[in-house]
Amino acid sequence: MSRRQRATGYLSTALLALMHLALLLVLVVPFSRAALYPELRFLDRHKWFPIVGYAGAMYLVLGPAGVVWGFVVSTIACLHVTACINSLAHVWGTRRFDTPDTSRNNAFLAILTFGEGWHNNHHHDMLAARQGLTPWELDLTYLSLKALERLGVVWDVRPPSSRPRIGGIVASLELNAPAR
């Protein structure tokens, strides 16, 4: 290979690298920062908006009682019920999977938390959106996510990675549906 050919090779490689960098700066960076998810960027800038907006909506709809029961009491209850999952769902309930922790499935907590109470299932497969693995394990959060997926609001809702074996019977749910 001549010096001229080698120089041309270096130059074209450098030019290609520069073109990639330019493409990244011109297309990807502005697109990802400025154009994608404007609603999330708005909420990130104005963190007070959901709280104040919700309390204001409760006041407009139901008056002062709406603020007390629809905002203050319900927010405190929601916070405590959510926190219960990391405490009570590690103390009370049953264990389907032999996970290296103390997580448990608790139907009462699952009803209160719209499915989070199937906590042993969650610890078994933490990346799966679905926590209630059988027809009798009601998981309203997962059903909501599936509904939003059908509407195109969310996508790539991750199914559990394997079918649970319950009493020797593989659960008859579509747990292995490929992610879109």
Residues that bind Zn ion (CB under 5 A): 103
Residue nearest to Zn ion (CB): 103
According to DSSP, residue 160 is labeled P
Nearer to Zn ion (CB atom), residue 103 or residue 113 = 103
Residue 85 CB, nearest approach to Zn ion (Å): 7
CB-CB contact of 120 with 93 (8 Å): yes
Tell me whether residue 103 or residue 105 sits nearer to Zn ion (CB atom): 103
- Report the b/e string of 67-94 with b at 16+ CB within 10 A: beebbeeeeeeeeebeebbeebbbeebe
In the complex, minimum distance from the CB of residue 106 to Zn ion, in angstroms, rounded to a whole number: 11
Pick 57 or 112: Cβ nearer Zn ion: 112
CB of 121 to Zn ion, least distance (A): 11
* Minimum separation from the CB atom of position 118 to Zn ion (A): 11
Q: Which residues pair with 118 in a beta bridge?
A: 105
Q: CB of 90: closest distance to Zn ion in angstroms?
A: 6
How far, in Å, CA of 105 to CA of 117, rounded?
Answer: 6
| Long-range CB contacts (within 8 A, 24+) of 160-168 | 160/121, 160/125, 160/128, 160/130, 160/133, 161/125, 161/127, 161/128, 162/125, 164/96, 164/97, 164/121, 164/133, 164/134, 166/96, 166/133, 166/134
Residue (123 or 175) nearer to Zn ion, CB: 123
| 71 or 120: CB nearest Zn ion | 120
